[in-house]
């Protein structure tokens, strides 16, 4: 240990192991990060990257292994402790207080205080505002300190999260999947902010599963698979193919095979749809489009631009303020949710756990969630439980849904991937005319994603109409026949996928106009 | 590494950790804890807990007393126990059904007074023969209770009112309004309660003669047992029960699945109200024969404890109702025999309620221990084979 | 008219401070239906304190009353720990916990009041007698027609409540502690990631709600019946819950609602006296606050905005 302090690694993890009930989240992981580096943690969903960094940030403690910060062994027992070691983290799911201002969010936990009359402590908002404006200017993170969080867009919220770290003098900044919620242009902006931070002497650790971004900005990376470290490599000199292989352990199919064919009759027609929220805000403005048999119509857009609402309105979960939803020539506006299911609409909701499943019921009941009330599953109001089980077993077989006790398993105990498989199985087996899929592969590992993509293509080939809403541009470019880009509740552009490039789509997502 | 307190954890997991039997085992555990707490309380008062508990059983008719008054025996005490259990059973089923649908019906006392009062002034003071009057009383109980229940459900569905606050408001409103009417038109100046109803309309055969014994026979108890079975069947085997429980567990997913949330909630509050109505008529026109103005029956509140202890399942409510009634009835005898305050009954029930409220915590704790032990066995297995 | 104001204020103020307690707890994310039980337990502690110490003071002294107010505040705070333990540590359903606390409070105070009276004071009673509280007329201002009624025949505790309420308002909106409490009610994960201890902050908020409810309870005891007895549990805790629901969990609108309840109640009594209706009609008058609550609930529940994380069990493990 005779190296001078500057070239000592600023963060070193030795043999970190962490157990959670039933799984080994991190298995004997060791690596080090140098000061002033942009270091990436690469791996599929569920590989253990977030857990590892949560340990570094003090949210968890490792079961085995040690952490060395600036050469000194440290036990990081809480985020406060991590902050004292100048470690900060921008989380994937922002941890912001909606009904408080940008300024209040940034200072939470480290509030500047004055004493009124020497006695009463009082929040010194003026001082806070000054400091925040200073930091904003230094790193190019423009924010309005007095705006409430529920009034600012996602990219601003991310800036608030970054400012939170900088306000606490973080020197080591951890970013957890920062680009998941951004458009391509916003991603560019973020990557240049990250480079700015490095110029300012900060050390950046980037968690991601997006190879292209890592390639653009990282110096070195570490690859995790199922909790184990499979490689430490220099980013510039390694190909994305190599990195992908180490992530998954085999050759990865980057493109799904899709046959070109003619589309059939119109199945879904949305005419002049407008949706209003409870508080009067209009989330969807005068949207019209249609989906034909055998067509995958994908809606691209940054989260929160109205695409979720369109899907829910079609399924019947929220009312249409204006306009009609027509299925096979018949308006469904007046139909209840159950009537729409029977008319032929399958819906995979964005939140599979909260909306798509009854977590405390059995797999058998969940697989029959849309059929239990009618014959043959229920006669004279009495449920035919053995029939639930036999039907469920069929689906478990066909879709390879894994669970501890088969159809009797309580769904809550199943993994996220298998829960999603169950939802997809159920919705496909309804044999509906229209399949509305919202974020079908969110949070799943590559194997599951591939399976689901081929399921979607298979349904398309069978002549079903598929409405796909996704935040993953790669997924949209791979699957879509037609793409509609939504911005601020309106379709900026609709055209066959073949006519669009990723960059163009990104432009429309930001509200850019046709040139 | 061996977990701390290994032996205790092992015992807890063994006894309380089996998913199939957890409903009963944890309930028993709660009861035992409450009995222990009660024992400590009694010791603090300088009384022998064992003789105290025995005299509770004696008072409830589950153990022989040294002496009985004329025409009384352990059997008559036991019949009296059943007589008091009947309204408690209906009241707890009312709370349980609402709970299963995710709703808190704290309005059972008000519903009881409402249905009891209505039935009293319409049928209770009439001269109808028993075979007409009694079914009529039951019908009025069912109808009036379900109306109130559905009303609370409607308020929640249409106006998003908090059903706890609205049902409690109704408790007080009903209590005061009926008190007003009783005081003005139906008061018995001697008892300060409403005028006694006619025997033919009463749902309990009071002082019925059997041999040389005089006992109270609750006519509706068999009906109660049938309802327990019917509710169990409804909740587990029918589509309506499925909907009811689904809405209670996750209203968003239920809606997604096509269940009409509003209708399901209103119907289940209506059912809950109907059961509360039955509790009302069996209480005010069965166990008792008059209404005390401006007093909310404690049975309605104790029913919450019973439903929690019984895990909101119909058979659980049956057993828990029996237990709580034993405590309530037996304590009168105990308090006179042992010089302990009568109020100790509600305190014991309160402690039972407190511990039952921690059920979920106990369940989660046992689950945690189970996982700890499994991890430990797993690592031990690996060490041996590895 | 003057009486309506005087009696209305005497009822509104304790109701208000209890509601402020409720706001503290719910702003931190813990549903608090236990206000009824907390006010009762506080009143019990206050009453017990008076019964124990009053012989130490000369007759007619108001000092025992102030000590009782303090004891009630402490008692309420202590009893609230139970709600905290059930909701925060045991992660029980918060509505159930609230109802349990209320039922237990009734049973516990009835039993203890009886037991202590029998064992310590040798009398069979479930009441603790309190001295009649003095009432103050503020010089000069109380002579102003109409408005002067607000300063006439005022209970000392009304002043104490106003001071406490102002302090509570200041802490909740102007200090770091208040910022953190309100943040816990919106997004406890944010507080956790910022290094705050969510459990500790919530315990603090719940204990504060207990203290304020206890204070309100003993004030009710002094103003309504000059004693503590099981009849202190009259549903006022639930009225205060309704008050802060209409007040949208903000202190000033809640004050307005409490004033409305208070004047409705005193107005109703005045009406009965004016119309010279027989005593049984007082039963109908007593329903006024509850009916008003129900009506307001029906019309205003749709637009209320509770704290975002209210009633949700906070699990550190969930990310």
Choose among B159, B172, B354: nearest Cβ to C100.
B354
> CATH 3.10.20.520: does it fit domain A5-248?
no
d(CA B96, nearest CA chain C) in Å: 13
Choose among B168, B293, B349: nearest Cβ to C238.
B168
Structure tokens at C96: 């159930």
Tell me whether strands A220-225 and A38-42 are parallel, antiparallel or unpaired.
parallel
Tell me whether strands A38-42 and A203-208 are parallel, antiparallel or unpaired.
parallel
Domains of chain B: 1-47+341-386 (no CATH), 67-339 (1.10.3470)
Q: Residue C318: its pLDDT value, please?
A: 46
Identify whether C310 is part of a domain. no
Q: Tokens 């019908």, residue?
A: B139
Q: Residue A2: its pLDDT value, please?
A: 47
Structure tokens at C166: 């102002």
ω into residue A376 within 30 of 0, thus cis? yes
pLDDT in tens, A56-69: 888 888 888 999 99
Q: Do C293 and B169 touch (CB under 8 A)?
A: yes
E-strand ranges in A260-397 read: 266-276, 282-292, 296-300, 322-327, 330-331, 345-348, 378-379, 382-383
- Find residue A486's DSSP bridge partners: A491
- For A285-300, b/e burial (b = at least 16 CB within 10 A) is bebebbbbbbbbbbbb
Tell me the backbone φ, ψ of residue A260, rounded to 5 degrees: -85, 140
Whole-structure pTM value: 0.85
d(CA C310, nearest CA chain A) in Å: 13
Lowest mean pLDDT among A293-297, A408-412, B108-112: A408-412
* Residues of C whose CB is below 8 A from B106: 99
State whether residue B201 sits within 8 Å of chain A by CB: no
* Residues of C whose CB is below 8 A from A95: 187, 189-190, 192-194
- Find residue A88's DSSP bridge partners: A173
Structure tokens at A272: 């002049």
Tell me the backbone φ, ψ of residue B244, rounded to 5 degrees: -60, -50
C106: number of CA atoms within 13 Å, CB side? 23
Residue A382, SS3 per DSSP = strand
C126: closest CA among C113, C116, C139? C113
Residue-by-residue pLDDT tens, chain C, 319 positions:
778 888 899 999 999 999 999 999 999 999 999 999 999 999 999 999 998 888 888 877 788 889 999 999 999 999 999 999 999 998 888 888 998 899 899 999 999 998 888 888 888 888 888 878 888 888 877 777 777 778 888 888 899 999 999 999 999 999 999 999 999 999 998 998 888 899 999 999 999 999 999 999 999 999 888 888 888 888 889 889 988 988 889 999 999 999 998 988 888 888 878 887 777 777 888 888 888 888 888 888 777 778 888 888 887 654 3
What's the CA gap between B288 and B292, in Å, rounded?
Answer: 10
Contacts of B247 (CB under 8 A, 6+ apart): B101, B102, B254, B259, B261, B264, B265, B268
CA distances from A461 to A258, A295, A417, A466, A479 (A): 9, 8, 24, 10, 12
CA distances from A345 to A297, A370, A446 (A): 15, 11, 27
Q: Do A383 and B256 touch (CB under 8 A)?
A: no
Which CATH number goes with the domain that contains C60?
Answer: 1.10.3470
Alpha carbon of residue B164 to chain centroid:
17
Cβ-based burial of C278 (10 A; exposed 0-12, middle 13-18, buried ≥19): exposed
What's the CA gap between A214 and A38, in Å, rounded?
Answer: 9
* Residues of A whose CB is below 8 A from C192: 59, 79, 95
Q: How many CB atoms lie within 10 A of CB A93?
A: 11
Tally of domains in chain C: 1
What average pLDDT does this structure show over A93-109?
A: 90
**A5-248 shares its CATH topology with A261-344+434-453+461-515:** yes
Q: Residue B126: its pLDDT value, please?
A: 87
Q: Say if residues A343 and A335 touch (Cβ distance below 8 Å).
A: yes
Tell me the backbone φ, ψ of residue A382, rounded to 5 degrees: -100, 130
* Residues of C whose CB is below 8 A from A108: 179-180, 183, 190-191, 194, 196
pLDDT in tens, A2-49: 455 456 788 999 999 988 766 778 888 999 999 889 999 988 777 788
Q: Say if residues A112 and A122 touch (Cβ distance below 8 Å).
A: no
B152: number of CA atoms within 13 Å, CB side? 31
B253: closest CA among A308, A370, A385, A408? A370
Choose among C33, C104, C241: nearest Cβ to B350.
C104
CA distances from B281 to A298, A450, B104, B269, C240 (A): 61, 63, 22, 18, 32
The residue of C82, C84, C283 whose CB has the most chain B CBs within 10 angstroms, and thus the best one to mutate to test that interface, is C283
Q: How many CB atoms lie within 10 A of CB C157?
A: 25
- Find residue A31's DSSP bridge partners: A13
A50: closest CA among A420, A443, A450, A441? A443
Radius of gyration, alpha carbons of chain A: 25
Q: Do C283 and B351 touch (CB under 8 A)?
A: no
* Residues of B whose CB is below 8 A from A426: none
Q: How many CB atoms lie within 10 A of CB A259?
A: 8
d(CA B382, nearest CA chain C) in Å: 27
Cβ-based burial of A166 (10 A; exposed 0-12, middle 13-18, buried ≥19): buried
Nearest 10 degrees: CA dihedral of C311, C313, C314, C318? Answer: -130
Contacts of B314 (CB under 8 A, 6+ apart): B93, B96, B227, B228, B229, B231, B232, B235
d(CA A250, nearest CA chain C) in Å: 30
Give the mean pLDDT of chain A.
Answer: 86
Evaluate whether ipTM surpasses 0.90.
no
What's the CA gap between A52 and B267, in Å, rounded?
Answer: 50
Identify whether C318 is part of a domain. no
* Residues of B whose CB is below 8 A from A332: none
Per domain, the residue ranges of chain A are 5-248, 261-344+434-453+461-515, 352-431
Choose among A337, A359, A372: nearest Cβ to B242.
A372
Averaged pLDDT in 10-residue chunks for chain B of 386 residues: 78 80 84 91 88 90 86 88 95 96 93 95 89 93 96 92 86 92 87 86 86 88 95 94 94 92 95 97 92 89 87 92 92 85 85 86 85 80 74
| Whether the predicted pLDDT of A229 surpasses 50 | yes
Q: Residue A103: its pLDDT value, please?
A: 92
C14: number of CA atoms within 13 Å, CB side? 34
Tell me the backbone φ, ψ of residue A302, rounded to 5 degrees: -70, 145
| Whether the predicted pLDDT of A1 surpasses 50 | no
What's the CA gap between B166 and C298, in Å, rounded?
Answer: 9
Q: Residue B102: its pLDDT value, please?
A: 92
Identify whether C25 is part of a domain. yes
Q: Say if residues A377 and A368 touch (Cβ distance below 8 Å).
A: yes
What's the CA gap between B175 and B299, in Å, rounded?
Answer: 15
What's the CA gap between C26 and C20, in Å, rounded?
Answer: 10
Q: Say if residues C187 and A95 touch (Cβ distance below 8 Å).
A: yes
Q: Which residues of C touch B (CB under 8 A)?
A: 33, 82, 86, 90-93, 95-97, 99-100, 103-104, 106-108, 110-111, 114-115, 118, 126, 234-235, 238, 241-242, 245, 280-281, 283-284, 286-287, 290-291, 293-294, 297-299, 301-302, 304
Q: Residue A370: its pLDDT value, please?
A: 93
Choose among A93, A98, A110: nearest Cβ to C186.
A98
Q: Tokens 């080994």, residue?
A: A24
Q: Which residue range(s) make up the domain with C6?
A: 2-303
Q: Say if residues A499 and A480 touch (Cβ distance below 8 Å).
A: no
Choose among C99, C111, C299: nearest Cβ to B341.
C111
Q: Most distant CA pair in chain A: distance in Å?
A: 82
What's the CA gap between B259 and B252, in Å, rounded?
Answer: 10
| Whether the predicted pLDDT of A356 surpasses 80 | yes
What's the CA gap between A313 and A438, in Å, rounded?
Answer: 13
Q: Residue A406: its pLDDT value, please?
A: 82
Q: Residue C38: its pLDDT value, please?
A: 96
* Residues of A whose CB is below 8 A from B239: 372-373, 378, 381-383
What's the CA gap between A291 and A270, in Å, rounded?
Answer: 9
Q: How many CB atoms lie within 10 A of CB C167?
A: 11
* Residues of C whose CB is below 8 A from A105: 190
Nearest 10 degrees: CA dihedral of A43, A48, A50, A52? Answer: -120
What subunits touch chain A, counting only 3 or more CB pairs under 8 A?
B, C
Q: Do A108 and C194 touch (CB under 8 A)?
A: yes
Pick the CATH number of A261-344+434-453+461-515 from 3.40.50.300, 1.10.10.10, 3.40.640.10, 3.40.50.720: 3.40.50.300
What subunits touch chain C, counting only 3 or more CB pairs under 8 A?
A, B
Cβ-based burial of C304 (10 A; exposed 0-12, middle 13-18, buried ≥19): middle
What average pLDDT does this structure show over A439-453?
A: 82
Q: Tokens 């006694």, residue?
A: B196
* Residues of C whose CB is below 8 A from A106: none
The residue of C172, C175, C193, C314 whose CB has the most chain A CBs within 10 angstroms, and thus the best one to mutate to test that interface, is C193
d(CA C160, nearest CA chain B) in Å: 28
Q: Tokens 């599929």, residue?
A: A44
State whether residue B20 sits within 8 Å of chain A by CB: no
Identify whether C316 is part of a domain. no
Q: Residue A358: its pLDDT value, please?
A: 92
């Amino acid at each position: 240990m005779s190296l001078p302090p500057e070239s000592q690694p600023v963060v070193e993890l030795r043999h970190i192991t962490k157990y959670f009930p039933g799984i080994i989240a991190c298995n004997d992981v060791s690596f080090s990060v140098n000061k002033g580096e942009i270091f990436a943690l690469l791996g599929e969903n569920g590989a253990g990257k977030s857990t590892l960094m949560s340990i570094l940030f003090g949210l968890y403690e490792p079961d085995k292994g040690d952490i060395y910060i600036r050469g000194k062994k440290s036990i990081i027992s809480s985020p406060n402790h991590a902050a004292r070691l100048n470690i900060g983290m921008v989380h994937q799911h922002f941890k912001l207080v909606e009904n408080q201002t940008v300024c209040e969010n940034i200072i939470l936990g480290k509030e500047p205080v004055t004493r009124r009359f020497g006695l009463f402590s009082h929040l010194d908002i003026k001082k806070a505002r000054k400091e925040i404006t200073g930091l904003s200017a230094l790193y190019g993170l423009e924010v309005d300190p007095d705006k409430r969080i529920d009034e600012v867009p996602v990219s601003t919220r991310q800036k608030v999260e970054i400012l939170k770290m900088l306000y606490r003098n973080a020197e080591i900044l951890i970013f957890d999947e920062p680009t998941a919620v951004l458009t391509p242009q916003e991603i560019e902006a973020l990557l240049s902010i990250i480079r700015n931070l490095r110029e300012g002497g900060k050390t950046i650790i980037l968690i991601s599963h997006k190879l292209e971004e890592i390639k653009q900005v990282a110096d070195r990376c570490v690859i995790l698979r199922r909790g184990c470290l499979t490689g430490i490599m220099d980013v510039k000199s390694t190909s994305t193919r190599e990195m992908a292989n180490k992530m998954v352990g085999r050759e990865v199919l980057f493109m799904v095979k899709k046959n070109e064919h003619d589309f059939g009759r119109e199945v879904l027609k949305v005419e002049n749809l407008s949706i209003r929220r409870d508080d009067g805000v209009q989330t969807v403005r005068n949207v019209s489009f249609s989906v034909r048999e055998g067509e995958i119509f994908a809606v691209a857009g940054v989260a929160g631009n109205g695409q979720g609402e369109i899907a829910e309105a079609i399924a019947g979960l929220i009312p249409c303020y204006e306009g009609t939803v027509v299925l096979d020539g018949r308006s469904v506006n007046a139909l209840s949710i159950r009537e729409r299911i029977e008319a032929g609409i399958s819906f995979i909701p964005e939140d599979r756990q909260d909306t798509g499943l009854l977590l405390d019921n059995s797999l058998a009941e969940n697989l029959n969630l849309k059929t239990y009330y009618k014959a043959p599953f229920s006669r004279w109001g009495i449920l035919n439980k053995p029939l639930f089980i036999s039907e469920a077993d069929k689906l478990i077989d066909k879709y390879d849904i894994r669970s501890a006790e088969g159809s009797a398993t309580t769904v809550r105990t199943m993994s996220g991937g298998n829960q999603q498989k169950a939802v997809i199985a159920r919705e496909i087996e309804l044999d509906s005319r229209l399949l509305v899929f919202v974020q079908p592969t969110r949070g799943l590992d590559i194997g599951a994603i591939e399976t689901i993509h081929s399921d979607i293509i298979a349904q398309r080939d069978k002549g079903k109409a598929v409405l796909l809403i996704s935040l993953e541009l790669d997924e949209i470019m791979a699957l879509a026949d037609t793409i509609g880009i939504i911005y601020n509740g309106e379709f900026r552009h609709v055209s066959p996928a073949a006519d669009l490039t990723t960059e163009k789509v990104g432009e429309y997502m930001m509200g850019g106009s046709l040139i | 590494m061996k977990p701390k307190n290994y032996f205790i954890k092992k015992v807890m997991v063994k006894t309380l950790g089996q998913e199939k039997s957890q409903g009963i085992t944890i309930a028993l555990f709660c009861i035992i804890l409450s009995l222990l707490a009660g024992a400590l309380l009694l010791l603090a008062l300088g009384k022998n807990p064992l003789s105290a508990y025995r005299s509770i059983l004696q008072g409830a008719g589950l153990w022989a007393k040294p002496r009985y008054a004329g025409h009384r025996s352990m059997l008559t005490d036991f019949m009296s126990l059943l007589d008091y259990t009947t309204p408690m059973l209906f009241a707890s089923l009312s709370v349980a059904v609402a709970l299963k649908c995710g709703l808190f019906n704290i309005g059972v006392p008000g519903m009881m007074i409402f249905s009891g009062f209505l039935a009293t002034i319409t049928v209770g003071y009439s001269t109808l023969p028993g075979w007409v009057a009694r079914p009529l009383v039951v019908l009025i109980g069912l109808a009036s209770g379900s109306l109130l229940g559905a009303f609370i459900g409607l308020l929640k569905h249409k106006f998003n009112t908090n059903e706890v606050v609205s049902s409690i408001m109704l408790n007080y409103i009903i209590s005061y309004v009926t008190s007003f009417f009783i005081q003005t038109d139906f008061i018995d100046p001697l008892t300060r309660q409403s005028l006694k109803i006619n025997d033919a309309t009463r749902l309990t055969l009071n002082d019925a003669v059997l041999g040389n014994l005089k006992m109270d026979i609750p006519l509706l108890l068999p009906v109660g047992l049938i309802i327990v079975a019917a509710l169990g069947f409804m909740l587990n085997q029918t589509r309506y029960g499925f909907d009811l429980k689904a809405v209670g567990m996750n209203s968003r997913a239920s809606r997604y699945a096509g269940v009409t949330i509003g209708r399901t909630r209103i119907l289940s509050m209506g059912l809950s109200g109907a059961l509360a109505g039955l509790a009302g008529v069996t209480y005010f026109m069965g166990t008792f024969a008059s209404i005390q103005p401006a007093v909310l029956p404690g049975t309605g509140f104790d029913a919450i404890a019973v439903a929690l202890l019984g895990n909101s399942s119909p058979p659980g409510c049956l057993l828990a109702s029996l237990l709580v009634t034993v405590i309530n009835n037996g304590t009168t005898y105990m308090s006179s025999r042992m010089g302990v305050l009568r109020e100790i009954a509600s305190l014991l029930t309160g402690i039972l309620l407190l511990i039952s409220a921690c059920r979920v915590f106990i369940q989660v704790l046992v689950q945690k221990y189970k996982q700890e032990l499994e991890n430990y066995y797993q690592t031990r297995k690996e060490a041996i084979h590895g | 008219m003057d009486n309506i104001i005087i009696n209305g204020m005497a009822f509104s103020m304790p109701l208000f401070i209890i509601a402020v307690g409720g706001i503290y707890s719910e702003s931190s994310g813990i549903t608090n239906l236990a206000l009824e039980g907390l006010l009762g337990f506080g009143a019990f502690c206050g009453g017990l304190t008076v019964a124990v110490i009053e012989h130490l003071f000369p007759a007619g002294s108001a000092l025992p009353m102030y000590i009782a107010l303090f004891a009630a505040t402490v008692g309420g705070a202590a009893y609230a720990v139970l709600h905290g333990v059930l909701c925060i540590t045991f992660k029980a359903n918060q509505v159930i916990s609230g109802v349990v606390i209320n039922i237990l409070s009734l049973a516990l105070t009835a039993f203890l009041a009886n037991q202590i009276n029998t064992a310590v004071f040798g009398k069979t009673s479930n009441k603790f007698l309190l001295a009649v509280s003095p009432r103050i007329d503020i010089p000069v201002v109380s002579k102003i027609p109409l408005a002067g009624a607000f300063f006439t025949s005022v209970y000392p505790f009304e002043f104490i409540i106003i001071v406490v309420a102002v302090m509570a308002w200041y802490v909740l909106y102007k200090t770091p502690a208040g910022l953190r409490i309100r943040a816990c009610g919106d997004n406890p994960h944010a507080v956790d990631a910022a290094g705050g201890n969510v459990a500790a902050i919530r315990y603090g908020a719940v204990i504060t709600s207990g203290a304020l409810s206890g204070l309100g309870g003993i004030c009710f005891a002094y103003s309504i019946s000059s004693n503590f007895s099981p009849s202190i549990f009259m549903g006022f805790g639930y009225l205060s819950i309704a008050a802060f629901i209409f007040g949208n969990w903000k202190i000033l609108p809640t004050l307005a609602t409490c004033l409305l309840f208070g004047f409705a109640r005193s107005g109703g009594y005045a009406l009965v006296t004016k119309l010279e209706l027989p005593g049984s009609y007082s039963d109908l008058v007593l329903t006024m606050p509850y009916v008003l609550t129900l009506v307001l609930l029906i019309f205003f529940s749709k637009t209320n905005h509770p704290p975002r994380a209210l009633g949700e069990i906070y699990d550190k493990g969930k990310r």
